[in-house]
Chains A and B, each alone.
Chain A
């Protein structure tokens, strides 16, 4: 019984939150990696682009609520996803046309494109703050919990409760759906294959008649979908605040690089690596050990490897270690 209690404690406080957070990071990391692999630059506007898509979801959620439209027990924000994605893609394509395409045609070095993306970051941040302001917003409605701690305790008769928030379930399910469709698209369809070819060797791809404009367009479309969904899921789970989204760029970058930048599978797994490391290393294991160890050995301290203040620092340290020993990332190999 104690063993089951201990496992429930771990599940409740580490595994489920880490899976959720990891999914959100993974979507962002695939976005970063796609842009890096196909358009060949590190996009410093990542966090703000995700924020931009989410902003529309937030505004539309408020609008739908005022109209009285709701999605039953699910959050209304899910209904707004298609519109938000549309606006996001529109914005990305506009930016690409007026900013990035010039440097792409000129074949500028990646560093220059990265600097340009810093400019885009400033502009995007300004637009977001002017439209919606910098304050914290919650836009979750519908049922909050799928499984409450008390219900679980009654059901199983255990000491420890297991909670499952609806946002956690939605995040994991939606991520699985989106990512599997994307991988199917990249691997099985002709357009996906041409994108991979373009990423591997641009000149060869052009020679074999692949239309670069189409590849770029599709890349931004996929990027827009990933960015918006990732942003909305994060916002539903925590809350929407432009500054936090900008900061999220850093663990997302860490995830993309840890997984091997340019490799979507790696980015996907990298997100979970970062999330699990952050949560496992900062969790206080006291309660877990109280169940497992006999009373005489019970721990006095929190048994916490690192204080939660260092959450971000952990993901960055992992990144530094990976860069030191395997600069091409943990899951190198197949490029998109």
Chain B
């Protein structure tokens, strides 16, 4: 128990902070923050698997998040029949061509020795393949995008349950990580950071501009939900009864019936949004707990010890007969898959997929700050980091506004500096996060909850 005292203390403070938001601002805001904290926690756990367990620096979190989000669209949206009829066959043929290209290149690389001839052959396959792809896909894309461009204009998904897409999101991200890992894992740490950052940008720009796939920057809205809709709740009698029971003492105080009905209606509307968010929070919490159990078990298993050995001394681990390259690739895939799940969760929570919103600032660097601040190599630390940093990220603006008002209280309302500062309050979040990161790195380089190595 004593070993975990600081963990418990840190988490209690965090929970109290969120409850305080609930009391002082509103429960709906508090739950929104909590949901995003949980999603961030999943992302941070993914990054922590890579950085904390194995020392791999992955600045491409944005790309895996976006891919997870794409999975939600591709799995849960109902298929657009007409688009499939017009261009589906061609797009499937394109997939076949890509697979054929990859297979034939592999064959060439395997069969023919390293020579100029081989290079030319590979280049020829790529050029012919790309020309063929363009030739087949161009008319198909045009016809797909012309199917009701305001509403659909894309192939749609498979129409399956949205929860299934979380797993698919993980698989997508893991698949991408396999390719990226094959390409980039041999690089030195800071090269790897830059390479992954740029590869993520490529992924996002593809998702943004291939409108036949997921409408690109036109966004997909109204995605399915694993939770009930507010509108349905507000009309269902059991929910109204529940709210009435919950607030019965308060309602009794109101004498006139019509007034009581109005108050009840307002309460039901508030409660429905809280209820939906609670449903999401429950789902997210389940994911976090499952992942926490798995990662905790993995970290303290022989495999986890092997990973730490590789992280701390690659040469020695390699000399002991551990396959460093294979393990690095494995952990890169696992970590990215977790991030992909988080990406899918986030899009499900928002109910919309907006490729234009994927920016490295928010989806790579902030997540990294969470990992560093929380504690590298410690799963509890990673989750805590997700909570703390997200909380600060959201609450920085109100906090900044409060302090600006406090400091400039003696200035008149028309003072230009005061107005300017108040207008720029949202940007203080960058300052807060940046200074927080610098302070933690300087004075507590291993994070709030540092890694603990339990000797077995």
Contact = CB atoms under 8 A, between A and B. Distances in A.
A309 B190 contact: no
A318 B304 CA distance: 36
Contact of A122 (B57, B189, B194, B434): B434
Contact of A111 (B190, B423, B429): B190
Contacts of B433: 122
Contacts of A31: none
B201 A323 contact: no
A250 B361 CA distance: 12
A313 B424 contact: no
B431 A313 contact: no
A191 B179 CA distance: 45
B190 A316 contact: no
Contact of B431 (A110, A114, A122, A316): A122
B430 A126 contact: yes
A interface, how many residues as a size bin? 35 or more
Contact of B438 (A44, A123, A320): A123
B124 interface: no
B368 A118 contact: yes
Given A102-B442, A257-B194, A323-B183, A250 B201 contact: yes
B391 interface: no
A313 B434 contact: no
Contact of A316 (B201, B208, B369): B201
B434 A320 contact: no
Given A253-B198, A309-B208, A313-B201, A110 B187 contact: no
B202 interface: yes
Contacts of B57: 111, 114
Interface in B209-228: 209
Contacts of B191: 42, 257, 261, 323, 327
B440 to A, nearest CB: 9
Contacts of B431: 122-123, 126-127, 130
B430 A125 contact: yes
Contacts of B193: 42, 111, 114
Interface string B177-209: 000000110110111011101110110011011
A323 B442 contact: no
Contacts of B438: 99, 116, 119-120, 123
B441 A309 contact: no
Given A115-B441, A118-B365, A327-B187, A126 B434 contact: yes
Given A126-B430, A127-B431, A324-B183, A42 B194 contact: yes
Interface string A99-119: 100100000011110111011
Interface string A36-66: 0000011010000000000000000000000
Contact of B427 (A112, A115, A126, A307): A126
Contacts of B432: 126
Contacts of A114: 57, 189-190, 193
Give the most central of A250, A253, A316: most B CB within 10 Å: A316
Interface residues on B, range: 35 or more
A70 to B, nearest CB: 26
A123 B437 CA distance: 10
Nearest to A114: B190
A110 B189 contact: yes
B230 to A, nearest CB: 33
B89 interface: no
B17 interface: no
Contacts of A34: none
Nearest to A127: B431
B219 to A, nearest CB: 16
A309 B205 contact: yes
A123 B184 CA distance: 30
Interface string A316-332: 11011001100100000
A133 B424 contact: yes
A152 interface: no
B239 interface: no
A336 interface: no
Nearest to A111: B189
A86 B372 CA distance: 33
Contacts of A41: 190
A90 to B, nearest CB: 19
A257 B195 CA distance: 10
Nearest to A32: B194
A313 B445 CA distance: 35
A130 B205 contact: no
B209 A307 contact: yes
A13 interface: no
A222 to B, nearest CB: 21
A25 interface: no
A125 B424 CA distance: 12
B84 interface: no
A30 B190 CA distance: 17
A233 interface: no
Interface in B432-456: 432-435, 437-438, 441-442, 445
Given A42-B191, A133-B423, A313-B202, 16 more contacts: A115-B437, A116-B441, A118-B369, A119-B434, A120-B438, A121-B365, A122-B430, A123-B434, A125-B434, A129-B427, A250-B197, A250-B201, A319-B194, A320-B199, A323-B191, A327-B186
17 contacts: A111-B193, A114-B190, A116-B437, A119-B437, A119-B438, A121-B434, A122-B437, A126-B427, A129-B430, A130-B421, A130-B431, A134-B427, A246-B361, A309-B208, A313-B205, A320-B199, A324-B183
The 9 lowest CB-CB distance pairs between A and B, nearest first, are: A122-B434, A126-B431, A126-B430, A123-B434, A129-B427, A119-B437, A316-B198, A309-B209, A119-B438
